[in-house]
């Protein structure tokens, strides 16, 4: 897909996300909107995945470590064809397989259960190491939040990935500067993130996480440094695409009322045109 087509797809995913949160009365809308462009680029430009064969041995793997933004992943998977788009209507409903955190057993295309923060990158390191042991060419991608990077398990995984020279592993940090209840700067400020990860022996690139050209270029296998895992620090905005949600910590898991819903949908629709 061309960058303009990816942008259009991302806006469609955002619209469906806002509608699903509004209808369900719950969700993590701010972080979902910040990660949408990254998910769109991964599934519609970068990754080798086949909805008709979700367990293909040579598929690329994505671990959404910030599992509370599962809705954005579900919608992306539905647009890709892993699940029916109509199933998004069941989000968080009784007996729905579309829970608040992704479940590998229930949802095709989900690679591992996530939710407890700091678990996804260690799993991704294991996946990438397994590929190396098998001599396989598939790649592993992990998306974490910036607040999540406060977890010590991530830094143990970062050390291991460098030790094992996992150049088939890409960590993407959704750096929206906000976490649940507070700004990153007011809790345990890791910024700047890039030099810290680089000090552990990783190749690191900083990008605008809402610029499709920058995202797709950074994710390309052509940008991999032999013998080094890659970290992409994606500078994003929580609530991206909706003026009153953007960069507002209250929208970590706030639900729009009817008036806010209509305004959000109107703004996102205008952005598509």
Helix or strand holding residue 212 (H, E):
helix 212-219
Using alpha carbons only, how large is the chain's radius of gyration in Å?
A: 17
pLDDT digits (tens, 9 = 90+) for 103-117: 999 999 999 999 899
pLDDT digits (tens, 9 = 90+) for 87-146: 999 999 999 999 999 999 999 999 999 989 999 999 999 999 999 999 999 999 999 999
Specify the pLDDT at position 181. Answer: 87
Q: Which residues of the chain have pLDDT under 50?
A: none
Helix or strand holding residue 230 (H, E):
strand 230-235
| CA 33 to mean position of chain CA atoms | 10
CATH superfamily, with its number, for domain 3-272: Thiamin diphosphate (ThDP)-binding fold, Pyr/PP domains (3.40.50.970)
Q: Find out whether 71 and 17 touch, Cβ atoms under 8 Å.
A: yes
Alpha carbon of 260 to those of 101, 178, 207, 220, 251: distances in Å?
25, 21, 30, 37, 12
The single-letter DSSP state of residue 168 is T
Rounded to whole angstroms, the Cα distance separating 17 from 4 reads: 20
| CA 28 to mean position of chain CA atoms | 13
Alpha carbon of 202 to those of 8, 74, 142, 222: distances in Å?
33, 30, 14, 16
Helix intervals (H) in 138-208:
152-163, 194-198
Token readout for 93 is 């409903």
Three-state DSSP at 78 gives helix
Q: Find out whether 102 and 64 touch, Cβ atoms under 8 Å.
A: yes
Q: What percent of the chain has pLDDT above 90?
A: 96
Rounded to whole angstroms, the Cα distance separating 162 from 65 reads: 19
Specify the pLDDT at position 165. Answer: 98
Specify the pLDDT at position 273. Answer: 63
Residue in the structure block whose two tokens are 């809790």? 187
Find the helix packing angle between 212-219 and 29-41, rounded to 10°. 60
Domain ranges of the chain: 3-272
């Amino acid at each position: 897909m061309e960058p303009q087509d990816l942008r259009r797809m991302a806006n469609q995913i955002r619209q469906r996300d806002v509608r699903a949160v509004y209808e369900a009365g719950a969700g993590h809308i701010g972080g979902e909107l910040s990660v949408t462009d990254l998910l769109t680029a991964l599934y519609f430009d970068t990754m080798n995945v086949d909805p008709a064969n979700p367990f293909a041995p040579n598929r690329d793997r994505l671990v959404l470590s910030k599992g509370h933004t599962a809705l954005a992943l579900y919608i992306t998977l539905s647009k890709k064809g892993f699940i029916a788009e109509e199933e998004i209507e069941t989000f968080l409903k009784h007996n729905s397989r579309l829970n608040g955190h992704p479940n590998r057993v229930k949802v095709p295309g989900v690679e591992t259960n996530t939710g407890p923060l700091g678990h996804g990158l260690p799993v991704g390191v294991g996946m990438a190491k397994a590929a190396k042991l098998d001599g396989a060419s598939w790649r592993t991608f992990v998306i974490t939040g910036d607040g999540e990077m406060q977890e010590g398990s991530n830094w143990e995984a970062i050390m291991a990935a460098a030790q094992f020279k996992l150049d088939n592993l890409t960590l993407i940090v959704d750096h929206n500067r906000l976490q649940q209840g507070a700004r990153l700067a007011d809790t345990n400020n890791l910024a700047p993130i890039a030099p810290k990860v680089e000090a552990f022996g990783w190749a690191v690139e900083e990008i605008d996480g809402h610029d499709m050209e920058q995202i797709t270029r950074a994710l390309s296998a052509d940008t991999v440094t032999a013998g080094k895992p890659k970290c992409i620090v994606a500078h994003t905005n929580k609530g991206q695409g909706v003026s009153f949600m953007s960069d507002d910590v209250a929208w970590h898991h706030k639900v729009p009322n009817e008036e806010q819903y209509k305004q959000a949908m109107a703004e996102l629709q205008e952005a598509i045109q």
